[in-house]
Amino acid sequence: MEELVIRDADVVDGTGDPSYRADVVVDGGRIVSVVKEAAAAGCQRPKARRELDAEGLVLSPGFIDMHAHSDLALLRDPDHSAKAAQGVTLEVIGQDGLSYAPVDDRTLDEVRRAVTGWNGPGDDIDFDWRSVGEYLDRLDRGIAVNAAYLVPQGTVRALVVGWEDREATPRELERMRQLVAEGLEQGAVGLSSGLTYTPGMYAGTAELTALCRVVAEHGGYYCPHHRSYGAGALEAYEEMVAVAREAGCPLHLAHATLNFGVNKGRAPELLSLLDEALAGGADISLDTYPYTPGCTTLVALLPGWAGEGGPEAVLARLADEETAERIRHDLETVGADGCHGVPVDWDTVEISGVTDPALGDFVGRTVQESALLRGEAPWATARRLLVEDRLGPTILQHVGHEENVAAVMRHPVHTGGSDGILQGSKPHPRAYGTFPRYLGHYVRELGVLSLEECIAHLTGRPAARLRLPDRGVVREGHRADLVLFDPATVAAGATFERPRTLPTGIPHVLVDGRFVIEDGRRTDVLAGRAVRRSPV
């Protein structure tokens, strides 16, 4: 007898098709049968050792977070309710060109310091891997939800070229191509870049194209955080489309929107650019989170030249008065490339986390507010935080526009990604609220998307981008990664004031047919594993 039958669920199957009522039978980690309109048909209903009454609940595929920063959180936090409670059953990590494989001892130390604000310093982690395959094997020991990995281009460049702002030599480029190929052969699903972060930003278009050719050969996709979301944003998008076309590589645009005052209301221009490329045969998708503020590290705002040489070189420049003044001038007057070419407005930069508890009073205030309280210039406050917290502060950047967010999420190639940074005492609520916010706010309250459309954006479409033929759709033979939610009450509990609050209206979540959320509570199940790229 099968393990579980979910009775009388309203199935939204991830294809975008209309919902239907069904009994869904799960056994051995897979969906073994979907009996439509079982009660009304009067047929012999399926039986199992356990029955779950889903009256009034929607059953959908588990949500796929196309842009996650849980690279260390999956290892340090077996509970991982931040994602599991949202109905997320698969996260794509290795984002924005910076993660922890492939590395050697030097690069690992540098990357750990560079992204402390994203993932913490990692002092609680046994970094017993160096290659992509070894990291994926570490995930296979058991994690809360599944995870797929992108080879991080910035980490690869740090390993081969270092943190220098220069072109790679032909020999270095060939070595980077080899590392990308090895990562894909070991199971990565594609390549990520962070082109406003050092050292990835030092790569030119030709270098990126050469790496993307390797990605295309291995059946992966390219996922760039491109060079600007502010001034020059459309040109930055155009560069990524050109790279993908030249390389013959599928393109997935990370957190694809337009921010800062210069881009208010300009989403239609971006969508027109994408529609033209799609009509020309380009393979493009994108992800967004359903909020207007962004989140990154404070050090990421600095000009690219200030990051050359790695984290210790940044701290040395900040300690030098003359060089620090140059940084301030680029930030406040010119518009640093790290701040997307827009002069920084310190009143929009809110400190969301620090690694040193002694600096906790800065959290929850903008740099401008803290500067006023201290009676100093905003740059003096920002510089103090960077130096005293060893580049650790994370920030919320309040520079987005609601009309752009809503317009992009309507596009047919859109998928959902939280970009969730779980560090800091006041993280962005998207880490805990992205998926229920789509369903509660943008579907039920605003009607920006129908329920069937939204579920397709969060399940079937990302599974297709990841080339996972047995996930993302409620269908016989598919993996039983499933979520049951109440469409009338599902909502994000997380707010900017209380960002770690769990959602409501999601009573059950299954990973590989096992309950990780049951009756609204986290179980002790660790059914997640590394999801490796399907062979070409």
Q: What is the DSSP string of 40-105?
A: HHTPPPP-EEEEEE-TT-EEEEPEEESSB--TTHHHH-S--HHHHTTTEEEEEESGGG--SSS--H
Q: How many whole angstroms separate alpha carbon 60 and alpha carbon 288?
A: 20
Q: Which of 197, 196, 202, 189 is nearest to 462 (CA)?
A: 189
Note whether 94 and 71 are within 8 A (CB): yes
Can you give the CATH number for the domain in which 187 is found? 3.20.20.140
Which residue range(s) make up the domain with 382?
302-398
pLDDT of residue 148 exceeding 70: yes
Predicted model pTM:
0.97
Q: Which two tokens stand for residue 501?
A: 């609050």
Buried b (16+ CB within 10 A) or exposed e, 313-350: ebeebbeeeeebeebbebbbeebbbbbbbbebbbebbb
pLDDT of residue 533 exceeding 90: no
| Alpha helical stretches, state H, 330-398 | 367-374, 378-388
Q: Looking at the domain assignment, is residue 46 inside a domain? A: no
Report the percent of the chain where pLDDT is more than 90: 96
Q: Looking at the domain assignment, is residue 34 inside a domain? A: no
| Alpha helical stretches, state H, 330-437 | 367-374, 378-388, 402-409, 430-437
In Å, what is the CA distance from 115 to each residue of 110, 125, 163, 391, 393?
A: 9, 14, 14, 9, 10
Q: What is the pLDDT of the chain when averaged over all its residues?
A: 96
Q: Which of 268, 263, 270 is nearest to 284 (CA)?
A: 270
Q: Looking at the domain assignment, is residue 56 inside a domain? A: no
Number of domains in the chain: 2
**Of the residues 345, 380, 398, which one is the last residue of a structural domain?**
398
pLDDT of residue 255 exceeding 80: yes
Q: How many whole angstroms separate alpha carbon 88 and alpha carbon 413?
A: 20
Q: Looking at the domain assignment, is residue 25 inside a domain? A: no
What mean pLDDT is predicted for residues 93-98? 98
Note whether 93 and 73 are within 8 A (CB): no
What mean pLDDT is predicted for residues 305-323? 96
In Å, what is the CA distance from 127 to each residue of 107, 108, 135, 435?
A: 12, 9, 9, 31
pLDDT of residue 41 exceeding 80: no
Is residue 126 classed exposed, middle or buried when 0-12, 13-18 and 19+ CB atoms within 10 A define those classes? Answer: exposed
pLDDT tens digit string along 330-356?
999 999 999 999 999 999 999 999 999
**Of the residues 398, 431, 451, which one is the last residue of a structural domain?**
398
Q: How many whole angstroms separate alpha carbon 293 and alpha carbon 454?
A: 21
Partners of residue 2 on adjacent β-strands:
48
pLDDT score, position 40: 62
What mean pLDDT is predicted for residues 79-99? 98
Q: How many whole angstroms separate alpha carbon 17 and alpha carbon 191?
A: 31
212 shares its domain with 264: yes
pLDDT tens digit string along 185-215?
999 999 999 999 999 999 999 999 999 999 9
pLDDT score, position 424: 87
Q: Looking at the domain assignment, is residue 178 inside a domain? A: yes
* CB atoms inside a 10 Å sphere around CB 309: 18
